[in-house]
Structure formats: C-alpha cells, structure tokens
C-alpha cells in the first residue's frame, strides 16, 4: 500500500475514532463525543473542525436545557471516506495473506548508494 492510497484527513487516529463514533447516524453532543472518544477538549475541537472543513461531519449549535451546546453528525461524504478507508485497509490485509508475508520481516535490500531499504 502506498502512502498516497490513504486519505490524508484520516491520517490521524482521533479523526477515525470520531467518524467511527458518528457512524451510527445519530447527532452526538460534544460532551458525549469527548466521553466516547476519550479525547481532550482541545484535541476534540481541533479534530472536529478539520473534519468539518473536509465536509466529513456536520456541526451545529443547539440549546439543550437552557445551554448552548455543539453537536455533530456524520455527513454522507464522511461515511464514504470512512468506508473507503476501511476497504483499503482490508485490501491490504488480503494482499498480505495472499502473498504469505503475514507476520514476517522483510530483509534489507542494498541500494546503489550503500544504504538499505527495508
């Protein structure tokens, strides 16, 4: 698998965790997302903002019990991105199983400049 095969937005495990949490299709309050993902407030804020900028999630302010809170929901583009991400990883595992390299360590190969490529 090449680096370019992966979605750069989903390079951060926190973002994958957020999308996976929202995959149930429900609206999630910020506080509930924090509890579910165990991310710190600042990290959750930054990662949800990046996911919103990518169009992967929707966020809105609502009033609950007289307080303004933020809630999030998975957008269709986010669902597709998560699905594609999982499929790419599954394909990589299937290729590994088909070639019999599961659990093995590849030997170093010498380069022309004397360095090694693993």
- Which residue range is the domain that position 20 belongs to? 3-117
Q: Is 41 buried (19+), middle (13-18) or exposed (0-12) by CB count in 10 A?
A: exposed
CATH number (domain holding residue 54): 1.10.10.10
CB atoms within 10 A of CB 26: 12
- Count of structural domains within the chain: 1
The helix (H) or strand (E) run that includes residue 52 is helix 41-53
Per-residue pLDDT for 54 more than 70?
Answer: yes
Average pLDDT in the 84-88 region? 91
pLDDT tens readout for residues 21-44: 999 999 999 999 999 999 999 999
What pTM did the predictor assign? Answer: 0.76
Residue (of 100, 116, 96) closest to 108 by Cα position: 116
């Amino acid at each position: 698998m090449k680096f370019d095969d992966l979605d750069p937005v989903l390079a951060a495990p926190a973002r994958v965790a957020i999308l996976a949490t929202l995959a149930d299709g429900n609206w999630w309050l910020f506080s509930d997302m924090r509890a579910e993902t165990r991310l710190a407030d600042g990290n959750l804020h930054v990662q949800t903002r990046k996911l919103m900028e990518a169009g992967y999630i929707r966020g809105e302010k609502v009033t609950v019990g007289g307080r303004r809170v933020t809630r999030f929901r998975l957008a269709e583009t986010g669902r597709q991105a998560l699905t594609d991400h999982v499929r790419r990883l599954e394909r990589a595992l299937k290729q590994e199983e088909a070639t019999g390299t599961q659990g093995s360590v590849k030997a170093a190969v010498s380069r022309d400049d004397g360095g090694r490529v693993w």
